[in-house]
A = this chain, B = another copy of it.
């Protein structure tokens, strides 16, 4: 089928002609008019249709050749869906519990049919509603440790890794990150936006601060050159759907081979901004979010290290095969993880800056109705980010202290 943009009716026809998804939602003898199709309508980039036949359901996500939230005048290659499909499949192989089932995909139609996560909600909204999820940090740290470790040179052989780097080169969406996370927020760019009461002197301050500018330039360069692992590439709290038992990571269209700390840092930044958006008297939820930050890092780093050590033990590579060699390898792993920690804190700061003065905001903060309080929170976010990107921290507790200190 050659490419055409689907609508609610043609989605039904498409399902009718595609046996591997028809069988998910329809018995052989059921006609397609039993299907309820509706477009969710909240995507920035894509169209997403939910399809129901009673309890039977799936979603269809289709890329269109422009940036949906802007319109047809902002062209964006719909082949980005190829990256999303392939990243979903890789993540599903590596971390099956945390990735929706994929029923069908089509490069030609730039679409994927997947499990409808209709018993799950978006984490960002749930945090705004002050919901608590007992397994989230356990789950997300496994997702991170496994998708990141099993796509590195530590696990893959050298040739396969290079094929993967090539396959996941993601020019257009990386450019969006390079511009909107690493460039525009640090300059007087017309795409930036500011809340009405924001103290613009703080903005000017970080934009002309030598150490901040140098640190941002280094992190941007790291993002552009360090092909460490297959990243999700956009792991904010809006890319996670969950309930009390289950956690799913969705929307990996920004996936590419990049620095491990980027995924970790983006997620931690969104937790930090949630924390900073809380009111003074929300002690309990504050403690919960603090715990999330600590647990995510501690669990991720422990699991990533375990992956490294267990793999080395099973490989018994000649280079570490001498008395004391495994301890030397362990010390190498520790210093590798220290480097990821530093990178993560840096990327965390970049996300906090751009979510405050860049094009895309986070509802946790931007949704604060009292504009004076919103501006106060934003000022705090910028100050914390300025410290995070220029100071050095020995461990995650020091980072949490930086974020939570009044």
On A, residues with C-beta under 8 Å from B are 153, 158-159, 161-163, 165-166, 169, 171-172, 174-175, 178, 183, 186-189, 207-208, 210, 213-214, 217-218, 221, 224-228, 317-325, 327-329, 331-332, 335-336
Contact: B183 with A158, CB < 8 Å?
no
> Which residue in B153, B171, B207, B318 is a CB contact (below 8 Å) of A221?
B153
List 8 tightest A-B contacts by C-beta distance, closest first: A187-B318, A187-B319, A159-B171, A210-B328, A214-B332, A153-B224, A217-B332, A162-B169
- Given A166-B169, A213-B328: A188 and B158 interface contact (C-beta under 8 Å): no
How far does the Cβ of A267 sit from chain B's closest Cβ, in whole Å? 21
Contacts of A217 in B (CB 8 A): 329, 332
Q: Are A208 and B324 in contact (CB under 8 A)?
A: yes
CB atoms of A225 and B226 under 8 A apart: yes
Q: Output the nearest chain B residue to A189 by Cβ-Cβ distance.
A: B318
Smallest Cβ-Cβ distance to A227: which chain B residue: B225
- A158-B178 contact, Cβ under 8 Å, with A208-B323, A331-B214: yes
In contact, B213 and A319 (Cβ under 8 angstroms): yes
User: Which residues on B sit within 8 Å (CB–CB) of A162?
Assistant: 169, 171, 174
Alpha-carbon gap, A207 to B324, bound state (A)? 11
Complex formed: what's the CA distance from A142 to B225 in Å? 23
- For A324, the chain B residues whose CB sits under 8 A away are 208, 210
Residues of B within 8 A of A163 (CB): 169, 171
Say whether, besides A227-B225, A227-B227, A214 and B175 are in contact (CB < 8 Å): no
Asked if A214 and B328 make an inter-chain contact with CB atoms under 8 angstroms apart, the answer reads yes
Query: What residues of chain B lie closer than 8 Å to A213, measured between beta carbons?
Result: 319-320, 325, 328-329, 332
Assuming the contacts A158-B224, A226-B225, asked whether A322 and B166 have C-beta atoms less than 8 A apart, the reply is no
Given contacts A162-B171, A169-B162, A171-B162, contact A322 B227 (CB under 8 A): no
On chain B, the residues within 8 Å of A174 by CB distance are: 158, 162
Closest to A177 in B: B158
Query: For residue A172, which residue of chain B has the nearest CB?
Result: B159
Known contacts A158-B224, A225-B227, A226-B226; A208/B325 CB under 8 A: yes
Question: Do A322 and B225 touch (CB < 8 A)?
Answer: no
User: Does B186 contact A171, Cβ atoms closer than 8 Å?
Assistant: no
Chain B proximity of A232: nearest CB distance (Å): 18
Tell me the minimal C-beta distance from A118 to chain B in angstroms. 37
Q: How far is the CA of A169 from the CA of B52 in the complex (A)?
A: 45
Indicate which residue in B178, B189, B318, B322 contacts A208 across the interface (CB closer than 8 Å). Answer: B322
A324 to B159, CA, bound (A): 45
